[in-house]
Structure 1
Amino acid sequence: MFTGIVTAIGTIDSVREGGDMRLRIACPLDPAAIAIGASIACSGVCLTVVAKGGTKGDAHFDVDVSQETVSRTAKGMWAQGQRLNLEPSLKLGDELGGHIVTGHVDDVGSVLDWTPVGGSMHAIIGAPQRLAPYIAEKGSITVDGVSLTVNSVEDTDDAVRFTLNIIPHTEEVTTLGELRQGGEVNLEVDTLARYLHRMQSLRS
């Protein structure tokens, strides 16, 4: 489990193809604090650490990424040189600064608009209509592993649009500051919304 509060930005240092992809991700973490078999959310995708190395502040860890994961996540995100939002898994007693995040991507959204408003960025994200029941005004959603609050929602026949406000701090400490119109993002809906929708469907 995660909270959607990014602790570091990593960079894909190498990609080894053949069956599942083996990635080496460079990061400013302490390798002593990374356990083999531990889970790290990489831009919203829960991956398992299979190797590690380096020194404190200049570490790296390896993960395997299946073709299933590649097919269900944002296009091009697993290429060498790509930057990823990193969050180690939640430990009992840690502060829950965002919301409960599982690290399982529900779908891929697209950036329809990316406009500066004041000191922040105003984003409009388009998502498949099947996610509409889980996205609510002032509710939570995870975008590339970052816990954000939905400002407004607009439904259409075949899609749903929602707006976000990205403050300068979030732009600086995550990869969201690199988003541009037309880009793709990994989306995970709020876990509570998922269960409430399931309960409601059973009542119906």
Structure 2
Amino acid sequence: MFTGIVEAVGQVVALEPKSGDLRLRIKTGKLELQDVKLGDSIATNGVCLTVIELPGDGYWADVSVETIANTTIGHWSVGRKVNLEKAMMPTSRLGGHIVSGHVDGVGTIVGRHSDARAERFRVQAPAELAKYIAHKGSITVDGTSLTVNAVAGAEFELAIVPHTLAETIFAGYQVGSEVNLEVDIIARYLERLLLGEQAAKPDGGSIDLAFLAENGFYRGDR
């Protein structure tokens, strides 16, 4: 598990295709590696990767076909900068929110403008994730825990303060940049719990007006 508080900006220094999937090497910059051992997890642009080698100035990790298909990693190239965070310890401060490192989808930056010393970004999320994104709720963008400032359909807005711009890769985002998104894990579990026995159905069930009415959450005459 992670907190979404980025500890360092690293760089992709090698990408090696391996029998259909990928092995990559990340140079970790100022990220402290003394307490990292083989098998540990490091969030890399929000993707939980397992350390398989420690060459001294970074780490190697294997990336599965599933991860390549559902994150931005499939479009990475050597030289790309990435946000890094080591897995949290039981004694860590939860400065952001609970982040699993399991990316839910890829979003696109569709707007950017200055707002005093901050930068405002508009992000287009996949339509299926819109229901999990709430005004003033939490979302993880390329591994960074952020507060949603506004929501319009599947688009949401973020205000990025100078410290975050300086300590993450946000400063390099432009309109069209793709980003890894992880929605608030509590929203996902809440949806599953509300489904109750319907969750065991082959299609997983769904929450719609009929479901809400049947379970006493909605009355069409009000």
Q: Work out whether 1:44 is the aligned partner of 2:42.
A: no
1:162 matched to which residue of 2? 156
1:53 is displaced (CA, Å) by: 2.3
Alignment of 1:186-197 (within 5 A): 186-197=180-191
1:106 counterpart (100, 104, 107): 104
CA distance in 1 between partners of 2:32 and 2:73 (Å): 29
Determine helix, strand or coil for the equivalent of 2:108.
Answer: strand
Determine helix, strand or coil for the equivalent of 1:199.
Answer: helix
CA distance in 1 between partners of 2:62 and 2:74 (Å): 16
1:111 is displaced (CA, Å) by: 0.6
CA distance in 1 between partners of 2:180 and 2:54 (Å): 25
CA contact (8 A) 1:11 1:82 kept: yes
Q: Work out whether 1:23 is the aligned partner of 2:24.
A: yes
Determine helix, strand or coil for the equivalent of 1:31.
Answer: coil
Determine helix, strand or coil for the equivalent of 1:17.
Answer: strand
User: Match for 2:70: what amino acid?
Assistant: R
RMSD of aligned Cα (Å): 1.4
Determine helix, strand or coil for the equivalent of 1:153.
Answer: strand
Q: Work out whether 1:2 is the aligned partner of 2:2.
A: yes
2:204 matched to which residue of 1? none
Deviations 1:3-53 (A, max 9, x none): 000001110111111223111111123332211000000000000000002
1:128 matched to which residue of 2? 126
* Identity %, equivalent residues: 46
CA distance in 1 between partners of 2:66 and 2:189 (Å): 24
Alignment of 1:41-190 (within 5 A): 41-54=43-56, 59-74=57-72, 77-155=75-153, 160-190=154-184
CA distance in 1 between partners of 2:135 and 2:75 (Å): 28
CA contact (8 A) 2:67 2:73 kept: no
Uncovered stretches (5+) of structure 1, i.e. residues with no partner: none
Larger Rg: 2
CA distance in 2 between partners of 1:38 and 1:77 (Å): 24
| Bigger share in strand | 1
Deviations 1:61-95 (A, max 9, x none): 11011222111112665311111100000110110
User: Match for 2:48: what amino acid?
Assistant: C
CA distance in 1 between partners of 2:94 and 2:17 (Å): 36
| TM-score, reference length from structure 2 | 0.84
CA contact (8 A) 1:31 1:53 kept: no
